[in-house]
Chain A
Amino acid sequence: MKRTIIRVTVAVGASVLLAACVAAAPKEKTALEKRLEDPRVKNYIVGEKMTGYVFATAATRTVQDDDFENPAFLWVDIGEENWSKVDGAAGKSCASCHGDAPDSMKGVGATYPKYSGETKKLMALQHRINWERENRMKAKPWKWESDEMLGMTAYVKLQSRGMPVNVKIDGPAKPFYEAGKKFYNQRRGMLDMACANCHVDYPATMIRSNLLSQGMPNGFPTYRLKWQKVGSLHRRFRGCNKQVRAAPYKQGTDEYTNLELFLMDRARDLPMETPSVRM
């Protein structure tokens, strides 16, 4: 797959070069302008907001668009299998209570993280999945970055694909949202950069070989070529923290869950695109 992507990049580069030679010194198109020429990206733009799909290369988009080629579906399949697999002392599966996921889980993934009156906490979908396992199924919780958890999260979010992100940030969710916003704008690490420095101030700009996106969360869990597997949004947060030489938090901490809520609100109205594919 990597090889195809390189080939396509080369081809695009060559045609740009050709165009530049033919026309009389036209202004070279920016990386974003080139991407906006692809008609497929229009569904991933709402007003000023753009998902990571727009900033991805055409070849990466092609892989994401085909569920048979998209490697993230290996994890979705794990999720689908576990959906109806009985586990734990209560002798239940997800399906015992929720029936068919395409019906019962439609739209659910677009509303997380969500405040739960029961636990008095802001819960990411992963927290909710483990809560169900521990309390209703009497089953062991899954580790955040395990194939089981990634698979179930991707499978549940897939049932919202194309639906607009729609999280609640008022009422009891407000303080969590505010904490996430503060995190987002806080400079950190030896390089002293906030999330906003890269993803608000410089999207569509090349930072060395990377085209900065708006850092949207709506495609996670995502298959990353760099990881050679599916990974969670909180794993991405750790990476973005470490690249500015800041101490990262653990996946599933309150800090990252609050940050996830803030990002989902930034992505409000953009379509859910889990499971996405990224470089």
Chain B
Amino acid sequence: MKYQLLIGAVLGAALTGAIAAGSANAVEYKIVEDTVPQSLTGKPGDPANGKKTAINRRKGNCLACHDMPIPEQADHGQVGPPLLGVGSRLSEAELRMRVIDSKVINPDTIMPAFYRSTGLHRVLKKWQGKTIVSAQEVEDIVAYLMTLKE
């Protein structure tokens, strides 16, 4: 069995002041065969907040690329596969991996790693050392995706 230990982000030594949602001090997580079985926070995800985070253009912005069962939002993108039913196709651990860092599964994917802040090139100053969403928001998004049953 392949075990890998990844550090989601550098520790925020360089960061001063308020640490916003999706900031440094990212928690460590274990990848087990292209899945992340353990919750990043130990706290259950909130699907309602997960849906909000998925819609939010400054956060998940998943609708940029995915068709989702969110009819109240216009213009769903077509870059990725539709996510209706994804909660039946993939397990929670598989979904967590994909939200954290899809490139572990497919290095060529266009989908951003939502919980990684290292190994990036020329990140705008205000985003440096931060992850796109916070650990709890990863859990919330995963909880929301789990509700998307076929």
A residues in contact with B64, CB < 8 Å: 207-208
A residues in contact with B143, CB < 8 Å: none
The stretch from A38-46, A117-125, A187-195 touching chain B is A187-195
B residues in contact with A209, CB < 8 Å: 74-75
For B, the interface residue count at a CB cutoff of 8 angstroms equals: 24
Interface centre among A190, A193, A202, A205 (most CB of B within 10 A): A190
Tally of A-B Cβ pairs under 8 angstroms: 68
A residues in contact with B74, CB < 8 Å: 209
- Please provide the chain A residues from 91 to 110 with a CB less than 8 Å away from any CB of chain B in the complex: none
What is the distance, in angstroms, from A91's C-beta to the closest C-beta of chain B? 45
- Please provide the chain B residues from 88 to 119 with a CB less than 8 Å away from any CB of chain A in the complex: 103, 110, 112-113, 117
A residues in contact with B122, CB < 8 Å: 188-189, 241, 246-247
**Contacts A197-B110, A207-B64, A207-B65 given: A190-B79 contact, CB under 8 Å?**
no
Q: Are B112 and A191 in contact (CB under 8 A)?
A: yes
Q: A186 at the A/B interface (Cβ < 8 Å)?
A: yes
Q: B12 at the A/B interface (Cβ < 8 Å)?
A: no
CB nearest to B74 among chain A residues: A209
Q: Are B78 and A205 in contact (CB under 8 A)?
A: yes
Q: CB within 8 Å of B: which residues of A?
A: 186-193, 197-198, 201-202, 205-209, 241-242, 245-247
5 closest A-B pairs (Cβ-Cβ)? Answer: A209-B75, A191-B112, A190-B127, A208-B64, A197-B110
